[in-house]
Amino acid sequence: MMSLDKTTSYEELLAWGKRMERYISGEVVFNCELKIDGLAMSLLYEAGKLTRAATRGDGEVGEDVTANVATISAVPKSLGPGAPEVLEVRGEIFMTVRAFEALNQRQAGAVAAPSSTLATLLRDPCARRTPR
């Protein structure tokens, strides 16, 4: 997996692509996705119900943040008919730029970055303070 080396413009991306063509034989096709600066999360559903939400933690043992994640409207609390008996979903929980800027305004600019802010909020013992 080759690094983009903090490529920030279309021209830099094209130059990077040309460098990569030296390593790849045949037709080269690229797929780009937005980078999401979020918090890695594992959601466990049992019998169609959300039973656990955990962070990656130290890589071996995660933190249980189920109560706080359950307050986030975008996270389904239950799955529809036909869901497997046990399902683990892994992904990122992230804060939109608009939500981050609004929080930063309320906190008088004290918030550093969306991912570290999420980590702090999801660990808060008071789930009512978790962004919805």
Give the residue among 17, 53, 51 at the shortest CA–CA distance from 32.
17
Q: Give me the DSSP letters along 113-126.
A: -HHHHHHHHHH-S-
SS3 43: strand
Catalytic residue among 6, 35, 49, 77: 35
Whether 35 sits among the annotated catalytic residues: the reply is yes
Would you say 48 and 56 are in contact if contact means Cβ atoms under 8 Å apart?
no
- Please give the sequence-ordered ranges of beta strands (E in DSSP) within the chain, or none if there are none: 39-46, 49-55, 86-93
Q: How are strands ordered across the β-sheet holding 49-55?
A: 49-55, 39-46, 86-93
What are the catalytic residues? 35
